[in-house]
Chain A
Amino acid sequence: MSGASDRRRAEPQGRSGGVNRPRNRSARGETHLWVVQRLTAMLLAIAVLVHLVMIVTAVRGGLSAAEILSRTRGNEAWLVFYVAFALAAGLHGAIGLRNIAAETIGLRGRRADLAWVAAGLVTAGFGIRAAIGLYA
């Protein structure tokens, strides 16, 4: 009995104290990643649909660099679209890989999360470089 009551008394202290702080931070980080994953999913739902329609229509009769660049060169709307697309895809993919790695090989923790976010940003950087190349 006394053990249970001790635990009850100790719980609020534990929550605000140092022992559980890493767990709270980890839960907060988990929530942030979940929100980013869902927000990027919503953005990607539109972007991927546009991209797919573009792919299946543009390949008709063959693709050429001149044809692609005539559509994208100096076009700010496509630049904004592709930059947002690349950023969302890079982050969405990296968080997805992070979730799979955590579930399958147990790769977890703050360092791993930071590494995945960095990988996502590097991937997005490659995409943004390509988007600028299409625009400039």
Chain B
Amino acid sequence: MDLRPRSHPTYLAFVVHRVSGLLLALFLPLHFWALGTAISGEARLDGLLRWTENPIAKAAETVLVVLLAAHLAGGLRVLALEFLGWRSRQKDMVAVSAGIALLFGLVFLLNVV
């Protein structure tokens, strides 16, 4: 089996975009529902926020921030490719996308810990 096309960084970018999109789309209804329920009172919202203070929730939030930033940066690359015809330097654009995702994750982690 020829795996050459799959060894290209843009294939990895495709996989990251798809997996991050899938996980975010599954998380989204839960996020909206929990927020909508908690927002009904200041005490309830404070209760939810206190619950997210534990290390596991913080780690999960960091992963979500990285996934969201990765999906955003990867999505901008796809839009640039489709609508602006930016076909050159795709490896660099993939690297910049990954850098943006990790940067947001790191800044979030630094601020939240």
Instruction: Return chain B residues, CB-CB under 8 Å to A122.
Output: 29
Q: How far is the CA of A97 from the CA of B46 in the complex (A)?
A: 32
Q: Is the CB of A134 within 8 A of B39?
A: yes
Q: Check: A105 CB closer than 8 A to any chain B CB.
A: no
A89 at the interface (CB under 8 A from B): yes
In the assembled complex, the Cα of A134 lies from the Cα of B39 at a distance in Å of: 7
Question: Is A52 within 8 A of B72, CB to CB?
Answer: yes
Residue of B nearest to A124 (CB): B32
Q: Which of B1-9, B16-24, B90-98 touches A? A: B16-24
B28 in contact with A130 (CB, 8 Å):
no
A interface secondary structure, majority:
helix
CA distance A134 to B35 in the complex (A): 9
**A126→B18 contact, CB < 8 A:** no
- Docked Cα-Cα span, A1 to B104, in Å, equals 64
Q: How far is the CB of A34 from chain B (nearest CB, A)?
A: 10
In the complex where A52-B68, A55-B108, A56-B111 touch, is A133 in contact with B40 (Cβ < 8 A)? Answer: yes
- Judged by a CB distance under 8 angstroms, whether B49 is at the interface is yes
A129 at interface, CB cutoff 8 A: yes
Main secondary structure of the interface of B (DSSP, over half): helix
Given contacts A59-B111, A65-B45, A65-B49, contact A41 B39 (CB under 8 A): no
* Distance of A63 from chain B, by nearest CB (Å): 5
Query: Can you name the residue of chain B whose Cβ is closest to the Cβ of A93?
Result: B25
Q: Complex: how many Å from CA A123 to CA B28?
A: 7
User: Given the known A-B contacts A123-B32, A130-B39, are A52 and B65 also in contact in the complex, defined by CB atoms under 8 Å?
Assistant: yes
At the interface, yes or no: A117 with Cβ under 8 Å from chain B? Answer: no
List 22 A-B residue pairs with CB atoms under 8 Å apart, sorted by A's residue number: A41-B79, A45-B76, A49-B72, A55-B65, A56-B111, A57-B111, A59-B111, A63-B49, A64-B49, A65-B43, A94-B25, A96-B21, A97-B22, A100-B21, A123-B29, A126-B32, A129-B36, A130-B32, A130-B36, A133-B36, A133-B40, A134-B39
Which residues does B use to contact A, with CB under 8 Å? 18, 21-22, 24-26, 28-29, 32-33, 35-36, 39-40, 42-43, 45-46, 49, 53, 65, 68-69, 71-72, 75-76, 78-79, 82-83, 104, 107-108, 111-112
